[in-house]
Homo-oligomer: A and B are copies of this chain.
Amino acid sequence: MKDGPAIANVAALIGDPARANILTALMAGKALTVSELAQEAGVTLQTTSSHLSKLLGGGMVSYRKQGRHKYFELASHQVAGTIEALMGLAADSGHLRTRTGPRDEALRSARRCYNHLAGTAGVQVYESMVRRGYLTVDAADLSLSTAGRVFAENLGIDVVRLSKGRAPLCRECLDWSERKTHLAGSLGRALLDYMIADGWVKQDATSRAVSFTARGRTLFNDIFPVLDAV
């Protein structure tokens, strides 16, 4: 056998069920400890430790040490993007168990993607903002207009602070269930944070799904109305 191309290494890294569980758990964007990841993956602590060192060696994850805890997270947005691409492939190619049960329905409807809102709700946010001119799409760049800035600040989001951060303020992110663009970047993150803080949504403890409260859904549709394309 020829020495396999580099691609095989990283794919094999993702291809193990336990590691895939770890990575999908990290897709939510929250940093998790080894123990928490062991729980998610359904294997013992030792096994998880071994998997994490492999993922680390492959540049898929990074960690911060804090006291006697080790918080792992995805190494880059590129990693997250690649995993989303694989999810997209897995979704249609074969094994149609992705559309089974109400829980997956919930996932398709609204979920965290890395750290922002995805699913139909995420797409609704994006399109609603684009169509009102709050977000302007230019070449491959997405930016917040003056009107959009006012809009965000009315929600109590500190745009100035966000735009000083290292992460881009607005970024497009392709939704694997909707196959449409939704809003990522620090603004996307801030919007989801806001919805959580203001009690619009509740996060599912075991999955990436988020569910709207009755009040939250009303406010959501009010503030991010579905509009026709121009």
Contact = CB atoms under 8 A, between A and B. Distances in A.
Interface of A: 1-21, 23-24, 41-43, 57-60, 75, 78-79, 81-83, 85-95, 97-98, 137-140, 172, 181
Contacts of A82: 82, 85-86, 88-89
A105 to B, nearest CB: 16
Main secondary structure of the interface of A (DSSP, over half): helix
Contacts of A91: 6
Copies of this chain, tallied across the complex: 2
Nearest to A136: B139
Given A15-B15, A88-B78, A140-B181, A95 B7 contact: no
16 contacts: A1-B43, A4-B17, A5-B24, A6-B91, A6-B97, A8-B20, A9-B15, A9-B94, A9-B95, A10-B90, A11-B12, A11-B15, A59-B94, A60-B93, A78-B88, A137-B139
